[in-house]
Amino acid sequence: MSEPSYLETPQGRKLAYHRTAGKGPGVVFLGGFKSDMTGTKAQHLQDWAEAEGRAFLRFDYSGHGQSSEAFLDGAIGDWAEDAEAAIEMLTEGPQVLVGSSMGGWISLLMTKRIPERIAGLVTIAAAPDFTEDSMWAGFDEAQRAALEMVQQVALPSEYGEPYVITKRLIEDGRKHLVLRGALPLPFPVRFLQGTADADVDMSVALRLLERAEGPDMRLTLVKGADHRFSSPDDLAHITAAITDVLVRAEG
């Protein structure tokens, strides 16, 4: 595997990235919470983009993968700044954003910040507002007290080490909520959601569909797919959705 290149953001953070040259609109992959750009979906999409001759970008948020900073120091606002810098400084023209889990939230923030750079959107098990609606809402009194006293609380994770959730992550997340009002998405949009997702309930996808406003929008529920959404069939669903969005964006 080739070594990543690095981008220094306006905030002074160094983001690791891999960029593939090709035709536009380009495709940008936005990964999930505590994931990185070496995951199955990101690698699959790079291979797909290379085969299609399509411009493609994958990168690590600060505190993730091979980028600078510590994960526990980061928050939604920081990672949104990272995504904005990567799109603005490493791509040309309109892009189709592909947001996985937290990346779905980040991609929705990009549609507000840099709408002129968005040609279309595909989300995979999108988790908008999860710091408030999943984490904070799920904390018991003891966990909320721990967050106040020691500024963090550890949550078990089936993906390995416990997730340490900081008070800053929760408070910063409240500044970036997207499901509290209308969400204009005036371009082709495809939401993908697995019915066996233990991390993001189907109700989140339905709420996102309800809040979103746009002329070309579909939610696809994939029976049996889990949060990873990385089986061969799941990956085929993702590339089919991206292809559909690209055809409509280019048409």
**Model confidence pLDDT, tens digit, residues 223-238:** 999 999 999 999 999 9
Average per-residue pLDDT in the chain?
Answer: 95
Which helix (H) or strand (E) segment is 145 a member of? Answer: helix 141-150
Read off the pLDDT of residues 185-223 as tens digits, 9 standing for 90 and up.
Answer: 999 999 999 999 999 999 999 999 999 999 999 999 999
> Residue 144: inside a domain, yes or no?
no
Q: How far apart are CA 125 and CA 115, in angstroms?
A: 22
**What mean pLDDT do residues 81-89 have?**
98
Percent of the chain at pLDDT above 70? 100
> Residue 200: inside a domain, yes or no?
yes
Task: Determine the structural domain holding residue 104 and report its residue range.
Answer: 5-129+181-250
Q: Read off the CATH number of the domain in which 192 is found.
A: 3.40.50.1820
**What mean pLDDT do residues 55-71 have?**
97
pTM greater than 0.85 (yes/no): yes
> Residue 202: inside a domain, yes or no?
yes
159 has pLDDT over 80? no
> Residue 165: inside a domain, yes or no?
no
- Residue 229 has which token pair? 């959404």
172 has pLDDT over 70? yes
> Residue 159: inside a domain, yes or no?
no
**What mean pLDDT do residues 14-38 have?**
96
For the chain, how big is the Rg over CA atoms in Å? Answer: 17
Q: How far is CA 142 from CA 72, 95, 145, 174, in A?
A: 21, 44, 5, 21
Read off the pLDDT of residues 120-145 as tens digits, 9 standing for 90 and up.
Answer: 999 999 999 999 999 999 999 999 99
Q: Tokens 């997730």 map to which residue?
A: 163
